[in-house]
Amino acid sequence: MKTILITGASRGIGREIAINLAKEGYKVIANYNKSEKEALKLQKELQSEGFSIEIYKADVSKTEEIKQMVEYVLNKYKNIDVLINNAGISDTKLFTDITEEDWDKMINTNLKSAFFASQSVASNMIHNKNGCIINISSVYGMVGGACEVHYSVSKAGIDGLTKALAKELGPSNIRVNSIAPGAINTDMNKNLTKEDIEELKKETPLGRMGETKDIYKCVKWLIEDEYTTGQVISPNGGWVIV
């Protein structure tokens, strides 16, 4: 069975993906940073249902910690077949209020992490002539979001990484794709008011916010697919159509 490393998997979209892939029988290594309690809960929950998952603590905004995590996984499992760069943060601020510190935190967590995690797994995937990298981007990477300029830049960067890497690694049979979700019901959107959510639903042709399972389904399809690379796939209910 394939070995899958997923970052930021203690809650939200990452958790949903990790749980379901573990239940499908994949060997899943779920990265977390601060949320040890949630990560252990996830592991226990799966174990109680007869499934297994490995959890690994690393701050993906720190390249050294990514390298150590990948080295650990490769030593133990020999291969990484699928890397899912999911960890991310968001921040809502006026453009004129964004500090250099805000910028560095955003770019290091959302973009630099995906770049160096992909670089860390690349040699193994190239050697195996097989691999799949899935970068969790956002609709804001495609169309931009007001008061989320640094977030939008980080996600546009992710899409650039996806496209360039797909071209470079395609000849080694490594597929690289972005999934760019619309508004998904997770902690990242916990600041939305009831009115905001109603407004969002009205603006969305399919009439609802996304759920984490909507993103999992897309991930599962990309893992099994053999001919899609360099694409930005956007499960967003029609909220954004480009």
Query: What residues act catalytically?
Result: 151
162/186 with CB nearer ligand NAD: 186
User: Can you say whether the dihedral through the CA atoms of 180, 182, 184, 186 is positive or negative?
Assistant: positive
Listed ranges 17-25, 31-39, 42-50, 195-203: which one lies at the site for ligand NAD (CB under 6 A): 31-39
Only one residue has tokens 């399809």, namely 221
What strands, in cross-sheet order, belong to the sheet with 27-32?
Answer: 54-57, 27-32, 3-6, 82-85, 131-136, 174-179, 232-233
100/187 with CB nearer ligand NAD: 187
18/165 with CB nearer ligand NAD: 18
Q: What is the 3-state secondary structure (H, E, C) of 159-213?
A: HHHHHHHHHHHHHHCEEEEEECCCCECCHHHCCCCHHHHHHHHHHCCCCCCECHH
User: Using CA atoms, how far apart are residues 66 and 63, in angstroms rounded to an integer?
Assistant: 5
Residues 189-208 close enough to bind ligand NAD by CB under 6 A: 189
Residues 6+ apart with CB under 8 A from 207: 201, 237
Listed ranges 3-11, 42-50, 95-103, 121-129: which one lies at the site for ligand NAD (CB under 6 A): 3-11
Please report whether residue 11 would count as binding ligand NAD according to CB under 6 A: yes
In contact, 53 and 33? CB cutoff 8 Å: no
Identify the three-state secondary structure at position 84.
Answer: strand
Listed ranges 11-19, 72-80, 116-124, 161-169: which one lies at the site for ligand NAD (CB under 6 A): 11-19
Strands 174-179 and 232-233: parallel
Listed ranges 28-36, 165-173, 193-201, 220-228: which one lies at the site for ligand NAD (CB under 6 A): 28-36
Among 169, 183, 219, 222, binds ligand NAD (CB under 6 A): 183
- Find the radius of gyration of the CA atoms of the chain: 17
Among 61, 118, 120, 204, binds ligand NAD (CB under 6 A): 61
Please report whether residue 138 would count as binding ligand NAD according to CB under 6 A: yes
Smallest gap from residue 27 Cβ to ligand NAD (A): 20
Query: What x-and-dash track marks residues 87-126 binding ligand NAD by CB under 6 A?
Result: xxxx------------------x-----------------
Q: Return residues touching ligand NAD (CB under 6 A).
A: 7-8, 10-14, 31, 33, 35, 59-61, 86-90, 109, 136, 138, 181, 183-184, 186-189
